[in-house]
Amino acid sequence: MKRLAILLSGRGSNLEAIANRIQEKRLPAKIELVISNIASAVGLEKARQLGLQTVVITSAGRVREEFERHLIDVLKGHQVDLICLAGFMRILSPFFIRSFPQRILNIHPSLLPAFSGLNPQRRALESGVRFSGCTVHFVDEGTDTGPILLQAVVPVLETDDEETLSYRILAEEHKLYSEAISMVLRNEIRLEGRRVIQKENESRINSTLYSDGKELSLP
């Protein structure tokens, strides 16, 4: 069974969604451990309730390299196959990224490359876009810039505020992340520059458009 490490700093709803998929046997993987840089993260408590192994590696007040060496040691010690950032509020240096080539995923609540960085839902609303969504991407040395695996589109409604838009995007995140993890673990994809190619048909992965809760396939 492939081993996942989930790194989080906050609420942990994506962790829960991934754990549920695994429990429902829709994602053939094991959450080997959940790591947080914040000891009081709500997501850690959720992980414990799910019976998962948790590790706190505090980042505050530590030199980045020392923190990352510790993190790398723990991850290598557990021989994880894939590292999934899920609300992990800490920029990882090239030193860390290069230790796990093409083995780190992140989920971001916007249609990248739009609204990378902080507060993407608020910025989507302020900018007047009609559609936003979420993206699962490989982590490279930039912030939210790595090759895109999957995206889900969510319409921005006239009546939306930051909370309602975030909520609808989050519902899509919970489906999308497990799908992307599954693709990587099954070794179904390869990278061609920044493009993610499906090995089976040598074409880009079909995207999924979610509109008003309905799933539409895009070519």
Take residue 34 and report the two structure tokens written for it.
């959940």
Stretch that binds ligand GRF, among 7-15, 45-53, 123-131, 154-162 (CB under 6 A): 7-15
d(CA 217, CA 201): 17
Contact between 108 and ligand GRF by CB under 6 A: the answer reads yes
Q: Is 103 one of the binding residues for ligand GRF (CB under 6 A)?
A: no
d(CA 170, CA 179): 15
Binding status of residue 175 toward ligand GRF by CB under 6 A? no
As a whole number of angstroms, the distance between CA 138 and CA 107 comes to: 9
Q: Which residue, 11 or 69, has its beta carbon nearer to ligand GRF?
A: 11
Q: Does 70 bind ligand GRF (CB under 6 A)?
A: no
Is residue 75 a contact point for ligand GRF (CB under 6 A)? no
* Sign, CA torsion 208/211/215/219: negative
Q: Which residue is nearest to ligand GRF (CB)?
A: 87
Shortest distance, CB of residue 89 to ligand GRF, whole angstroms?
8
> Binding ligand GRF by CB under 6 A: which of 99, 109, 136, 165?
109
Burial class of residue 98 in the structure, from the number of CB atoms within 10 Å of its CB (0-12 exposed, 13-18 middle, 19+ buried)? exposed
Q: Please give the residue ranges that form the binding site for ligand GRF (CB under 6 A).
A: 8, 10-14, 43, 86-87, 107-109, 170, 173
Question: Mind telling me the catalytic residues?
Answer: 108
